[in-house]
A and B are shown apart, each in its own frame.
Chain A
Amino acid sequence: MSDNLNEPFVKDWTPLQETEKGYETTSGLPVNYWQDVFRRLRQNKLAIGSIFVIALILLASTIGPMLTGKSYETQQLELRNMPPQIEILTAKDGTNFFVHQDLKVFLAEDNGYVTEELKPVSAKLADKQFIYKHNGKSYFLVFSSEGIKFLDENFDPLPRRKTVWNKNYLLGTDSIGRDMLTRLLYGGRISLMVAFVVSICTLVIGVLYGGIAGYAGGNTDILMMRIVEILMAIPSVIYIILLMIYFGQGVFNILIAMAVTSWLGTAQLVRGQVLSLKEMEYVLAAKCAGVSSIKIILRHLLPNSIGPILVSATLSIPAAIATEAFMSFIGLGVKPPMPSWGILSNEGIGAIRSSPYQILLPSIAISLTMFAFNFLGDGLRDALDPKLRK
């Protein structure tokens, strides 16, 4: 060790490579609030994925029903409960059959098109047997507790050739022979429309009511909020039920019933926001400049509380989808034959044993939509206010 402490220990130090030199880094351009929000939102992969899923669902339910080429209400009773996937049995002469679990036999093509139903020429119900004739050959459908067997004229079971996608009805048909795909897409249109309109109504009523209560303050505020508290004590589902019994089934009616019962939370939220914002200096400045109260609410208070309002609106959409589905499920929502996801679930639940796809498809659609909107709402909340992150 050197005695002279000022002398640098040159041999202990190696010069930096050019690439290792850390110059003073300057930050990027200053960003405003919304750019910052978008930057944070972009980092949330779940939220971005949700946006794509929502866009896909919206696109599918708006233009999808036009592309399927089928109507949501046309019934084909002879083609009821056709599953999305069919098992093709091929006879020795090359004829393809599809044996339906409801003891029906169809002629099919091997690529998955079901052409026509084959009617039995005679039935021996005592032997649990149906006899069919096609192209001069006889076939036997034998059913027992073990299952259904389709036999050719030598009583040999037809070989199971392959399982193919049902080309006539990609997602099968329901219990009265309506196309599930069209109904699912159209149902999505109804469910999403109800959810969006209810959410907008909730927003408008809640923002106006809460904004006025918060801005007015004093006795007006106390009275208006007491009303909200009393209404909130009543379980909202019960009131939607009562209103729907009064109105009767229908898309428009469920819209109204849900809109008049769902604005309470938004009103409380907006009131709280306005209450804290109205003491700000810029509001005082606006008042001094003689700006009217309505304009102060619309131009100064609401834009500054837009974040929490936006989050609550996003999260109110899945809630509305769930409520609509629930109401339709108990038979007080949309009026059949118009489908919604709730109606489809209601119709499908009875066939859960024989045709599970009828209930699983709408359930999957609802779950997917609920997840997407919830993740987007959570992502928005985190992006708008990182402090709120739990």
Chain B
Amino acid sequence: MLRYIAKRFVMMLITLFIIITATFFLMRAIPGGPFSFDRVLPPSVKEALEAKYNLNKPIVEQYFDYILGIVRFDFGPSYVYFGQTVNEMIADGWPASAKLAVAATVLIILLGLPMGIVAALNRNKIPDRTTMIISTIGIVVPSYVMATFLLYFFSVKIELFPTFGVETWRGYILPAICLAVGPVCSIARLTRSSMLDTLSQDYMRTAESKGLSRSRIIFVHGLRNSLIPVTTSLGMTFAALLTGTFVIEKIFAVPGLGRYFVQSITNRDYTAVMALTILSSVIMVVAVFIIDIVYMILDPRIKLYEK
């Protein structure tokens, strides 16, 4: 087990290294550079700018400086908003994204799990069919199209929620719903199939023949075992939501990391783009690593498949 964890850890480090390297050189290779404005700068100003941001050093030195900075969690200054560091901007945007992510995850747990359980317990009956139809819609329709429809209906037609902004808690409701719809549906499907799998196991029949109560059979013997794959999927979803979502934040004007990412792409704020790319990849990669280990602890049978 330790060997496996160590192997996965090394893989994770290699992945992170590749991500950082590729991001750095891709951004450096973009023609023009960060200070090629429409207005031509006097050479002396340009030189001073490049010296200030260490762009006059050899590229390899810049690269190592950058890696050292990342290890210290320092992403350097912003190229567009002078006098502001990328760290400050991340600290600025993260709370809104994190609040949305938490709200959406709560929704996913509160809706997705019961939907899946009810569907599995009523296999091929009306609740099951309904859940399957709803979840197909939720998985197929892209989140921003869903956002459009919800926004049109709830904010324009019946004016229940604000069209944009998160000044009040009401502003969080629609974006959280939009973020949650897709994952709710896939979690419901996953819970259903995992639950069906568990229900057909021999130990369920044993539990039944022991004379245990139905609720105990379903919740203790059935649910606990079928939640293992669901937990890992939930973890991944939460990690993905945590770094902000580009489109939902843009549509609802949530001042979060995702909208900031899109903004820095439009502004060609290279350090910010690099920082956000690396940040979200790191969170995803680390989340996958942690989830793999948690999975192994939750389900000891997983060791059977490991060499």
Contact = CB atoms under 8 A, between A and B. Distances in A.
B27 interface: yes
Q: Tell which of A238, A345, A367 has the most Cβ of chain B within 10 Å.
A: A238
20 contacts: A230-B18, A233-B12, A233-B15, A233-B285, A234-B285, A235-B284, A237-B246, A238-B281, A241-B273, A241-B277, A242-B26, A245-B30, A246-B26, A330-B262, A332-B265, A345-B144, A353-B156, A363-B148, A363-B149, A366-B145
Contacts of B30: 245-246
B281 A234 contact: yes
B302 interface: no
A360 B150 CA distance: 11
Interface in A215-265: 226, 229-230, 233-235, 237-238, 241-243, 245-246
A241 B266 CA distance: 11
Interface residues on B, range: 35 or more
A370 interface: yes
B110 interface: no
A330 B250 contact: yes
A106 interface: no
A241 B258 CA distance: 13
Main secondary structure of the interface of A (DSSP, over half): helix
Contact of A356 (B26, B136, B156, B277): B156
Interface in B20-70: 22-23, 26-27, 29-30
Cβ-closest 10 pairs across A and B: A363-B145, A322-B142, A233-B15, A363-B148, A374-B140, A370-B140, A330-B262, A230-B15, A367-B141, A233-B285
A360 B144 CA distance: 12
Nearest to B12: A233
Interface residues on A, range: 35 or more
A47 to B, nearest CB: 13
B163 interface: yes
A238 to B, nearest CB: 5
A359 B250 contact: no
B142 to A, nearest CB: 5
A118 interface: no
A329 B247 contact: yes
A245 B265 contact: yes
Nearest to A318: B140
A352 B141 contact: no
